[in-house]
Structure 1
Amino acid sequence: MSNGGSNQPRPNKNDRREAAREKARALREEQKKRERRNKILLQGGIIVAVVAIAALIGGMIFNSVKPAGPGPRNMASDGIVFTGSDGALTPSETPATPAGGKPTPTKQDDSGEVANIVTYIDYLCPYCGQFEQTNREAIKTMVEQGAATLEVHPIAILTNRSAGTQYSLRAANAAACVADLSPENFLDFNDALFDNQPAEGSTGLSNDDIKKLAEQAGVGSLSKVEKCIDDVQFKSWVQDATNRALSGPLPNTTEVESVKGTPTVLVNGKQYTGSLSEPTEFQAFVTQAASQSFTNSTPSPSETPTPTPAQ
């Protein structure tokens, strides 16, 4: 009885060895093809990634190097000025400084009867927040009574202290947006920024957070202000105004050449260096600075000529 099966002769040892070699060669060829294919895909992926990163960096550079535009209205001196009388406080309206133009110093009251208060502030500066919280209501009262004027200069010297978000610059830009479009709400917005001041070194407030504060402060032309905030419309102006404050000379001052830190507070040209948490100390300084200006502006009485002795 036949058991059936293949009629082919069984491969010998050499045949088996050659078959194994051929199989190994085929596997090597297949591996090489896979490696070439993966290399091509990897290179293509790297190229795509590099192009995407380059486009992203290019966009960031384009957005960060915007052509300089005009400054905000009502800040011709790089600061917004408030005067008052009979309990009312009014922002001074001025045209925008043209792109590349120089600011126009504010003509201060030199009668010696009014304290000209000038502040240089950074919205990320904790000492600025302390000074504002302590003295802002007293300052507003003095301005409303006609005893003082107030000129606020938002600058951004702490732009690199907010974990890469440039909060200091964005907040100063937002203040400029409000000064430009809704100056009567500037001080309320200024207060809101300090009432919600983030810690130095944090990411700061987002643009959406800042826009909510503008809305809460009753800012008019809100949609335009929000667009101005998102576009960082006055970025170049903030940078230029900051550089001008740091390099000097400061206008209308005889005691301080330039801003060395914030807050820099001047009253009739004299720098306040006292307590940031004691309101009576600043009020006493204002009174003293104003009285000294009054003394300096009062003409000295003419001396009575001495009679010439008779010969």
Structure 2
Amino acid sequence: MTKAQRRAAAQEKAKQLREAQEKRERRNRFILIGGVGAVLLVVAVLVWFIFSEGSRSPLDRLEENAKPANVSDDGGIRFDSQLVAGEIDSDASELAIYLDFACVHCLDFEMMHGQDIADLVAADEMTVAYYPVAFIGAGDSSSWSVRAAQATAVVTDGAPDRAEEFLRGLFELHEGNPNPSDAEIAMVAVDLGVPQEVVDRIGEAPFQAWVGAATQSARNDDDVTGTPAVFFEGEQVFTGPEGDGRSWAEPGSIASLVRGEDGAEETQDD
């Protein structure tokens, strides 16, 4: 091989090596870009997941089988004019009540207004949504708050036509009895004609997680600062049994509010 041929061969070899190197560099760039893109995609998906989970309410995060039937997605138990729990179709204004079965003021409120509320709903003058929560004794499955709210969920799930009477019956049971037993809770249901298979589920406590989620959802609502918290058409209308703002500690004040009567006007300072 002549000197010129050797030079040409060397140049060709160098060219091939250069092209191979450039090819490797292009491939590495593609791999790097693809890897960075994949990482960014994973990060984006993770951020989206965290954001979407953070924006969901505790109730939304529950598995479907942990939610009682005949209860709204927001945790409200709504009753139609037949006083049956479930979805309602009415143009009437809604009264929403956040209650804790261990709350003394909730007991007073129910004893004073429970029958009026039932009568107003039955007459289709308004609808009502009860939100059972467990602010008192939250996280303690043995507390009256949790057990009563859980039992209400069980009866609403399995005997929606008895749920309203059962809810009121639990308050009557609690009057003068600070911590009723599970057997006493079950007897309230039995006396109201709740089917035995539903009564038996009360002790199984299938909706404890729902009670916890409903309670946390209420805590996350800045307007619900205690119980009872009462809203009419989305506006908080009763701030407590006494003090500033409207007082519910007046017989007939719910009916007056719904009917727009003078009794619903804000209390005035003496």
Normalised to the residue count of structure 1, the TM-score between the two structures is 0.56
**Counterpart-to-counterpart distance in 1, 2:68 and 2:79:** 16
Partner Cα distance (2:204, 2:70) in 1: 20
Is residue 258 of structure 1 aligned with residue 223 of structure 2?
yes
1:272 Cα offset (Å):
2.3
Q: After TM superposition, give the deviation of residue 271 of structure 1 in Å.
A: 1.3
State whether residues 72 and 78 of structure 2, in contact with CA within 8 Å, keep that contact through their aligned partners in structure 1: no
Q: Paired residue for 2:250?
A: 278
- What RMSD in Å do the two structures reach over aligned CA positions? 2.7
- Per the TM alignment, residue 159 of structure 1 is displaced from its structure 2 partner at its CA by 1.6
How many Å apart are 1:158 and its aligned residue?
0.7
Return the index of the structure with the highest Cα Rg: 1
Q: Which residue of 2 aligns with 1:210?
A: 185
Match of 1:26 in 2: none
More helix by share: 2
CA contact (8 A) 1:272 1:282 kept: no
Count how many residue pairs are aligned between Structure 1 and Structure 2: 192
1:117 is displaced (CA, Å) by: 0.8
Matching of residues 100-249 of structure 1 within 5 Å: 109=91, 114-159=92-137, 165-197=142-174, 202=178, 204-219=179-194, 221-226=195-200, 228-248=201-221
- Indicate how the Cα distance of structure 1 residues 107 and 156 shifts in structure 2: closer, same or farther if over 3 A, else same: farther
Does the CA-based 8 Å contact 2:83-2:164 persist in structure 1? Answer: no
Give the superposition deviation at 1:198. 5.5
**Residue 138 to residue 218, structure 1, CA distance change in 2 (3 Å):** same
For 1:55-86, what per-residue CA distance to the aligned partner results, in whole angstroms no more than 9, with x for missing partners? Answer: xxxxxxxxxxxx964200001231111121xx
Distance (whole Å) between structure 2 residues aligned to residue 217 and residue 123 of structure 1: 19
Per-residue deviation, 1:139: 1.2
Q: Secondary structure at the match of 2:66?
A: coil
Kept in 1, the 8 Å contact 2:84–2:162? The answer is no
Identical aligned pairs, as a percentage? Answer: 29
User: Where does structure 1 lack aligned partners over 5 or more consecutive residues?
Assistant: 1-66, 94-105, 249-256, 290-311
Q: How far has the Cα of 1:138 moved from its partner?
A: 1.3
Change (3 A) 1:108 1:267: farther
Task: Provide the rounded CA distance (Å) in 2 between the counterparts of 1:160 and 1:81.
Answer: 23
Give the equivalent residue in structure 2 for 1:287.
Answer: 259
Is the contact between residue 124 and residue 199 of structure 1 (CA under 8 Å) also seen in structure 2? no
| Secondary structure class of the residue paired with 1:279 | coil
For residue 10 of structure 1, what is the aligned residue in structure 2? none
The one-letter amino acid paired with 2:230 is: V
Q: Distance in 2 between matches of 1:271 and 1:205?
A: 31
Q: Give the SS at the match of 2:260.
A: helix
1:70-116 deviation per Cα after TM superposition (whole angstroms, max 9, x unaligned): 200001231111121xxx433325xxxxxxxxxxxx8874xxxx221
**Alpha-carbon displacement from aligned partner over 1:107-144 (angstroms, at most 9, x marks no partner):** 874xxxx2211111111111111111111111111111
* C-alpha distance in structure 1 between counterparts of 2:112 and 2:175, whole Å: 18
CA contact (8 A) 2:155 2:198 kept: no
TM-score, structure 2 length as denominator? 0.64
